[in-house]
């Protein structure tokens, strides 16, 4: 961004009070903000007591060597014990931990007592395979219970896991295995996606021709498809794990014991291995899951639709919910298999009360039509969550109306792989929500918006989102590269963590996320966020989804180019394109009118649903399309390019 701060174009006046009943029985009330403000460290020390410690910490934060933090450093705990055993010991062994729903329609119910046995057997198996405390294990699995069991088994013995998206190529897996120096890989023959078995093991077989160090490969049989087998290296899960003893004594590890490495997709350059450790991470994931979802473990059925290979799957499928003793749904497949109502059928079947999904999914459901969720009984839902991208106000309203019966509160949760847990979000029993805003830092979190000179911007202005105090679940470093950790996150603004996102504060001081600053457009000297133009487009009744980029332009510096997906009922013609341009002009002002609007059927997205604007910029500027290895579906770019000439409309 240049010196001119980020323009504040979008106005949104709608407000929604929390339901009275929810407010009256909420896990967390407004006083949490006050207590945390009075003594932030005492607040986090109190939250750490939500966990079972083998040795209670006496220190809270060690910030003597910034930006390298230690939280609860003299405490010792076992993360898996906290997520599993302690619930069984407390008498909840019969409570369902996981309702697993396979894509083909198979299902499994796993209680906490059964989960304890499974995790213990897997921990014994890892030990039998020579994995010990301090080692790294790569996990490349579909969305099946073994993914969660593997993560917890690693945590139990103090080995760090590195989960790699099941969709990544052999090369992407190889570079991640090499960077983490993993000793063992856990994979499956395949998983079910879009109605078909989709192979996983061939990518591991190929990756292992490129890297050394992996001694064994543990293979879950999920689809029964043919696999190549390397004798002496490969071992079946059902042969090794299922025959282990279900007894395993969990040793305590240091609070700062590495728990996992997770590689960020990183739009450019080598992926960064984000390192998270144990005590602080588990404290903040458990606290935020309790506070933001108001989880009542005895009665709620929670479902997070994220993939386990995304940080959301780590923090809000495996660690936060299980630390809190939640009952949750895990679904293997895609939302349109075998029909476009699959998610709602699952909500109805398990009487899901808390649903956590991504804006990209919500916009897809908008595109498919209101009549689909209307066919199912969604009355069990009491809280809806959103994560991954800014949620456009119209998508937010659609979510509340069509999924939440016009009354269910929505929590728009801002956080990152690097932050480990939620940072900015409404509290469902406290906050008067605003469609499209993540609103306030959670209790114990310090975040604000600054200008180029690190000065806090006044209410009503935009700039850079920064975190001004360390937090328990913060990344500890970039694996093997402390300097990169300092340079990437702590160098732009002295003493502050720069998140890479643009944001604005409204007149009430509430925070609105405006997308990555790399995506901000500079049009005739004005910084305009892609998010605001996209939200204006999604505010038009014909539009389901849009992606906006700035393309080099001789007169204005950059020109706004919009890629638009229409709702099921709309007709793509020149009148509509003119109408859309005028609509943006009316909503945000003439400066934000797209120069070109291209109607497309798909947008390029990562597996966590983030739009890869870099690739669209390549198209808008007539360049060859760059690196597409982190795309969820690599055929999308061809589809978009093939579609374009007919919808071009230079004006």
Of 347, 445, 449, 513, the one binding ligand 6R9 by CB under 6 A: 513
**Separation of alpha carbons 167 and 612, rounded Å:** 16
Q: Which residue, 467 or 561, has its beta carbon nearer to ligand 6R9?
A: 467
- Count of all residues that appear for the chain in the document: 651
**Separation of alpha carbons 283 and 72, rounded Å:** 10
Q: Which residue, 172 or 220, has its beta carbon nearer to ligand 6R9?
A: 172
- From residue 240, alpha-carbon distances to 24, 123, 458 in Å are 50, 11, 60
**By the 8 A CB rule, do 41 and 60 touch?**
yes
Which range of residues in 31-39, 161-169, 308-316, 552-560 is near ligand 6R9 by CB under 6 A?
308-316
Shortest distance in whole angstroms from residue 610 CB to ligand 6R9 = 6
Q: Is 388 in the site for ligand 6R9 (CB under 6 A)?
A: yes
Q: Which residue, 183 or 492, has its beta carbon nearer to ligand 6R9?
A: 492
**By the 8 A CB rule, do 180 and 154 touch?**
no
Q: Is 307 in the site for ligand 6R9 (CB under 6 A)?
A: no
Shortest distance in whole angstroms from residue 633 CB to ligand 6R9 = 18
Q: Is 530 in the site for ligand 6R9 (CB under 6 A)?
A: no
Could you tell me where the DSSP H helices lie in 181-292? 201-207, 237-240, 279-292
Kindly tell me the sign of the dihedral angle through the C-alpha atoms of 432, 9, 575, 367: negative
Write out the H or E segment, with its range, that includes residue 459: none
**Separation of alpha carbons 410 and 123, rounded Å:** 38
Shortest distance in whole angstroms from residue 437 CB to ligand 6R9 = 9
**Separation of alpha carbons 396 and 469, rounded Å:** 30
Shortest distance in whole angstroms from residue 382 CB to ligand 6R9 = 20
Of 286, 499, 547, 549, the one binding ligand 6R9 by CB under 6 A: 499
Of 5, 318, 477, 608, the one binding ligand 6R9 by CB under 6 A: 608
Q: Is 488 in the site for ligand 6R9 (CB under 6 A)?
A: no
Q: Which residue, 412 or 506, has its beta carbon nearer to ligand 6R9?
A: 412
Shortest distance in whole angstroms from residue 263 CB to ligand 6R9 = 10
Shortest distance in whole angstroms from residue 498 CB to ligand 6R9 = 11
Of 417, 439, 587, 630, the one binding ligand 6R9 by CB under 6 A: 417
Residue 586 per-residue DSSP state: H
**By the 8 A CB rule, do 236 and 186 touch?**
no
Q: What would the two tokens of residue 40 be?
A: 């932030």
Q: Which residue, 311 or 543, has its beta carbon nearer to ligand 6R9?
A: 311
Q: Which residue, 311 or 466, has its beta carbon nearer to ligand 6R9?
A: 311
Q: Is 141 in the site for ligand 6R9 (CB under 6 A)?
A: no
Phi–psi pair at 233, nearest 5 degrees = -110, -45
Q: Is 546 in the site for ligand 6R9 (CB under 6 A)?
A: no
Q: Is 416 in the site for ligand 6R9 (CB under 6 A)?
A: yes
Count of CB atoms situated within 10 Å of the CB of 122: 28
Q: Which residue, 75 or 388, has its beta carbon nearer to ligand 6R9?
A: 388
- From residue 566, alpha-carbon distances to 340, 367, 440, 573, 627 in Å are 17, 7, 33, 11, 27
**Separation of alpha carbons 566 and 439, rounded Å:** 29
Q: Is 413 in the site for ligand 6R9 (CB under 6 A)?
A: yes
Which range of residues in 21-29, 197-205, 362-370, 499-507 is near ligand 6R9 by CB under 6 A?
499-507
Residue with tokens 């039998």: 128
Shortest distance in whole angstroms from residue 418 CB to ligand 6R9 = 7
Q: Which residue, 192 or 356, has its beta carbon nearer to ligand 6R9?
A: 356
N- to C-terminal Cα separation, the chain? 27
Q: Is 472 in the site for ligand 6R9 (CB under 6 A)?
A: no
Q: Which residues pair with 108 in a beta bridge?
A: 100
Q: Which of 132, 122, 131, 135 is nearest to 162 (CA)?
A: 135
**Separation of alpha carbons 452 and 4, rounded Å:** 9
Which range of residues in 58-66, 90-98, 110-118, 493-501 is near ligand 6R9 by CB under 6 A?
493-501
Q: Which residue, 324 or 529, has its beta carbon nearer to ligand 6R9?
A: 529
**Separation of alpha carbons 217 and 453, rounded Å:** 51
Which range of residues in 244-252, 306-314, 488-496, 628-636 is near ligand 6R9 by CB under 6 A?
306-314
Q: Give SS3 for 338.
A: coil
Which range of residues in 32-40, 41-49, 94-102, 385-393 is near ligand 6R9 by CB under 6 A?
385-393
Burial 303-335 (b: 16+ CB within 10 A, else e): bbbbbbbbbbbbbbbbbbbbbbbbbbbbbbbeb
Q: Is 414 in the site for ligand 6R9 (CB under 6 A)?
A: yes
**Separation of alpha carbons 603 and 633, rounded Å:** 10
DSSP string, 395-428: HHHHIIIIISTTT--EEE-B--TTT-S--B---T
Shortest distance in whole angstroms from residue 416 CB to ligand 6R9 = 4
Shortest distance in whole angstroms from residue 35 CB to ligand 6R9 = 25
Of 143, 188, 291, 438, the one binding ligand 6R9 by CB under 6 A: 438
Q: Is 501 in the site for ligand 6R9 (CB under 6 A)?
A: yes
Q: Is 412 in the site for ligand 6R9 (CB under 6 A)?
A: yes
Contacts of 257 (CB under 8 A, 6+ apart): 133, 158, 277, 278
Q: What is the dihedral of CA 588, 388, 296, 157, to 10 degrees?
A: -160
Of 317, 387, 536, 603, the one binding ligand 6R9 by CB under 6 A: 387
Q: Is 512 in the site for ligand 6R9 (CB under 6 A)?
A: no
Of 390, 404, 463, 594, the one binding ligand 6R9 by CB under 6 A: 390
Which range of residues in 29-37, 149-157, 318-326, 407-415 is near ligand 6R9 by CB under 6 A?
407-415
Of 500, 557, 585, 626, the one binding ligand 6R9 by CB under 6 A: 500
Q: How many residues contact ligand 6R9, by CB under 6 A?
A: 21
Shortest distance in whole angstroms from residue 517 CB to ligand 6R9 = 9
**Separation of alpha carbons 364 and 336, rounded Å:** 10
Of 78, 284, 312, 357, the one binding ligand 6R9 by CB under 6 A: 312
**What residues from 243 to 302 belong to the interface with ligand 6R9 (CB under 6 A)?**
264
Phi–psi pair at 164, nearest 5 degrees = -115, 135
Q: Is 389 in the site for ligand 6R9 (CB under 6 A)?
A: yes
- From residue 459, alpha-carbon distances to 33, 95, 191, 509 in Å are 20, 47, 49, 5
Q: Is 357 in the site for ligand 6R9 (CB under 6 A)?
A: no
Of 311, 410, 566, 588, the one binding ligand 6R9 by CB under 6 A: 311
Using CB under 6 A as the criterion, which residues of the chain lie in contact with ligand 6R9 when the complex forms?
Answer: 264, 310-312, 387-390, 412-417, 438, 499-501, 513, 516, 608
């Amino acid at each position: 961004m240049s010196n001119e701060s980020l323009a504040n174009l979008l106005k949104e006046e709608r407000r929604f009070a929390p339901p009275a009943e929810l407010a009256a029985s909420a896990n967390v009330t407004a006083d949490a903000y006050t207590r945390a403000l009075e003594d932030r460290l005492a607040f986090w020390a109190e939250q750490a007591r939500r966990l079972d410690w083998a040795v209670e910490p006496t220190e809270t934060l060690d910030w003597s060597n910034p930006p390298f933090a230690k939280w609860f450093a003299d405490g010792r705990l076992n993360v898996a014990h906290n997520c599993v055993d302690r619930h069984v010991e407390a008498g909840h062994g019969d409570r369902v931990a996981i309702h697993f729903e396979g894509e083909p329609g198979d299902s499994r119910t796993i209680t906490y007592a059964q989960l304890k046995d499974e995790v213990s057997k897997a921990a014994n198996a890892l030990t039998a395979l020579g994995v010990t405390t301090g080692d790294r294990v790569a996990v490349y699995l579909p969305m099946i219970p073994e993914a969660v069991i593997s993560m917890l088994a690693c945590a139990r013995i103090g080995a760090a896991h590195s989960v790699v998206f099941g969709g990544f190529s052999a090369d992407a897996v190889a570079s991640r295995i090499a960077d983490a120096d993993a000793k063992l890989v856990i994979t499956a023959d395949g998983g079910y996606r879009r109605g078909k078995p989709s192979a996983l093991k061939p990518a591991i077989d190929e990756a292992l021709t490129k890297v050394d160090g992996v001694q064994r490969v543990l293979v879950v049989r999920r689809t029964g498809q043919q696999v190549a087998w390397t004798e002496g290296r490969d071992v079946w899960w059902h042969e090794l794990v299922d025959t282990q003893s279900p007894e395993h004594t969990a040793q305590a590890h240091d609070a700062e014991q590495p728990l996992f490495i997770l590689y960020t997709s990183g739009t450019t350059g080598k992926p960064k291995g984000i390192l998270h450790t144990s005590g602080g991470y588990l404290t903040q994931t458990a606290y935020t899951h309790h506070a933001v979802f108001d989880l009542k473990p005895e009665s709620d059925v929670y479902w997070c639709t994220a993939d386990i290979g995304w940080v959301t799957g780590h923090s809000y499928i495996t660690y936060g919910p299980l630390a809190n003793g939640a009952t949750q749904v895990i679904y293997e497949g895609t939302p349109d298999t075998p029909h476009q109502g699959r998610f709602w059928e699952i909500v109805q079947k398990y009487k899901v009360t808390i649903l956590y999904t991504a804006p990209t999914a919500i916009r897809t459901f908008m595109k498919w039509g209101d009549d689909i969720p209307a066919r199912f009984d969604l009355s069990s839902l009491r809280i809806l969550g959103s994560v991954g991208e800014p949620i456009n106000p119209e998508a937010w309203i659609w979510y509340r109306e069509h999924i939440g019966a016009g009354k269910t509160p929505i929590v728009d949760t801002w956080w990152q792989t690097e932050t480990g847990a939620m940072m900015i979000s409404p509290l469902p029993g406290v906050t008067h929500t605003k469609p499209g805003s993540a609103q306030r830092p959670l209790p114990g979190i310090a975040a604000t918006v600054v200008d180029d000179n690190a000065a806090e911007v006044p209410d009503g202005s935009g700039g850079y989102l920064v975190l001004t105090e360390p937090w328990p679940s913060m990344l500890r470093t970039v694996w093997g590269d402390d300097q990169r950790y300092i340079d990437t996150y702590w160098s732009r603004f002295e003493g502050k963590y720069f998140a890479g996102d643009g944001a604005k504060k409204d007149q009430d001081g509430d925070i609105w996320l405006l997308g990555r600053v790399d995506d901000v457009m500079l049009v005739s000297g004005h910084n305009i966020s892609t998010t605001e133009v996209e939200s204006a487009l999604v505010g038009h009744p014909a539009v389901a989804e849009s992606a906006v980029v700035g393309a080099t332009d001789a007169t204005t510096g950059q020109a706004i180019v919009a890629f638009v997906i229409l709702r099921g009922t709309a007709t793509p013609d020149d009148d509509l394109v003119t109408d859309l341009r005028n609509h943006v002009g009316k909503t945000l002002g003439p400066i934000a009118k797209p120069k070109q609007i291209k109607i497309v059927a798909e947008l390029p997205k990562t597996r966590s649903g983030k739009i890869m604007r870099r690739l669209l910029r390549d198209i808008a500027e007539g360049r060859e399309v760059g690196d597409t290895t982190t795309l969820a579906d690599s055929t999308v770019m061809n589809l978009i390019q093939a579609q374009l000439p007919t919808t071009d409309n230079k004006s």
